[in-house]
Structure 1
Amino acid sequence: MQLGQEPSQFLENRLFYRGRKFNFEVNKLRLPIGIEGYWEVIRHPGGALAVPITPEGKLVLVRQYRFTVEGRLLEFPAGTVEPDEDPAETIKRELEEEAGYRAKTWQTLGKFPLAPGYSDEFIYAYLAQDLEKLDQPPQQDEDEDIEVVLMSFEEFEQAIMAGEPIDAKSITSFFMARLLMDNG
């Protein structure tokens, strides 16, 4: 069964907040199994992420400060999909802005829900290869505190296993890229 084939019946909106990057709703719904209740949901336009690999076989990651966890996470370059923007265009822009690279070869890894217990956000993941370092990368967003980090596949796997602070979308996309490359 595909997602969206069993919609809940919307009964009432109790709360709505429009934010800069996402919206928050509390809605009364009737679930497909007949239960009625109030459920909270974050409405998000989606995100795009790249697993960038240099010609030398290094992964390009960013160590970024995230106020929500009060610390720096190791992540692949990613960004929020703008209104009416194709996720492939989102990630091309974000790879240049966040990491200072441009990729000549792109492959779709797929999409997946990020946190379906409370958000409708999907991540569109891509493998970015044949990278070139930009002489003059575009300006990062003013609220971004980013350090570019190059790691081998083995170093990244060790970081995951050691419990270093790495976000889930990056871990998931890394293994999606490994599967594609191992079976490609």
Structure 2
Amino acid sequence: MPKGLEPPQLLKQRLLYQGRRFHFEVNSLRLPNKSEGDWECIRHPGGALAIPVTAEGKLVLVRQYRFAVAGRLLEFPAGTVEPLEDPADTIKREIEEETGYRAHQWQSLGEFPLAPGYSDEFIYAFLAQDLEKLETPPQQDADEDMETVLMTPQELEQAILSGEPVDAKSISSFFLARPFLS
């Protein structure tokens, strides 16, 4: 194997925190160049995200309070993949809970690492179309504080470019969906 493509050697692994959605570990590694060090990593089961599009071409987003940044972010509906759950099932549940819409047509847009510098989380992105507005209001989790927002693709793009707080997974997924949006 060419130098630089060899995997590092794991010397020691320490679990520092075990939470309900993720855990935090420190790994002592020896790199192929023989240098050694510690690398911290958040282990996460992954998330699924939908870009819901109404018949009128509006995008369904949520504006959600996020404790880590002490503010509200514009985001597409998303949720954590449960153990042994297919990401497609995750997002079908989450879109209804967060927005009060049900999609009847789904298309995978792909998957991507969210923050590979410190986490193994992957986001599984889907385009959700043929939306039905449910009679009952969204059944958000107790720890969620969000409102549903409808925007055209052009309005979302302008919000992103003008510096409105939009999370990275939503910006990345919006880029993946652009060829399918009018």
- Asked if residue 147 in structure 1 is aligned to residue 176 in structure 2, the reply is no
Give the aligned partner of residue 112 of structure 2: 112
Matched to 2:37, the amino acid is G
Q: Is the alpha carbon distance of 1:131 and 1:32 closer, same or farther for their aligned partners in structure 2, counting shifts above 3 Å?
A: farther
CA distance in 2, matches of 1:73, 1:138: 18
Equivalent residues of 1:63, 1:148 under 8 A apart: yes
User: Per-residue deviation at 1:29?
Assistant: 1.2
Equivalent residues of 1:47, 1:121 under 8 A apart: yes
Correspondence 1:53-72 to 2 at 5 A = 53-72=53-72
Matched to 1:151, the amino acid is M
Question: Normalized against structure 1, the TM-score is what?
Answer: 0.92
Unpaired runs of at least 5, structure 1: none
CA distance in 1, matches of 2:37, 2:86: 35
Matched to 2:141, the amino acid is D
User: Per-residue deviation at 1:87?
Assistant: 0.3
Q: Deviations over 1:56-109 (max 9, x none)?
A: 100000000000000100000000000010000000000000011110110000
- Asked if residue 136 in structure 1 is aligned to residue 144 in structure 2, the reply is no
User: Per-residue deviation at 1:36?
Assistant: 1.7
Matched to 2:11, the amino acid is L
CA distance in 1, matches of 2:6, 2:61: 37
Q: Is the alpha carbon distance of 1:165 and 1:140 closer, same or farther for their aligned partners in structure 2, counting shifts above 3 Å?
A: same
CA distance in 2, matches of 1:9, 1:136: 53
CA distance in 2, matches of 1:148, 1:126: 18
User: Per-residue deviation at 1:46?
Assistant: 0.3
Question: Normalized against structure 2, the TM-score is what?
Answer: 0.93
Give the aligned partner of residue 162 of structure 1: 162
Which deviates the most, 138-147 or 65-74?
Answer: 138-147
CA distance in 2, matches of 1:138, 1:31: 49
Q: Is the alpha carbon distance of 1:28 and 1:163 closer, same or farther for their aligned partners in structure 2, counting shifts above 3 Å?
A: same
Equivalent residues of 1:101, 1:137 under 8 A apart: no
How many residue pairs are counted as aligned between the two chains? Answer: 177
Secondary structure of the residue aligned to 1:97 is helix
User: RMSD of the TM alignment (CA)?
Assistant: 1.4
Moved over 6 A (4+): none
Unpaired runs of at least 5, structure 2: none
Identity %: 74
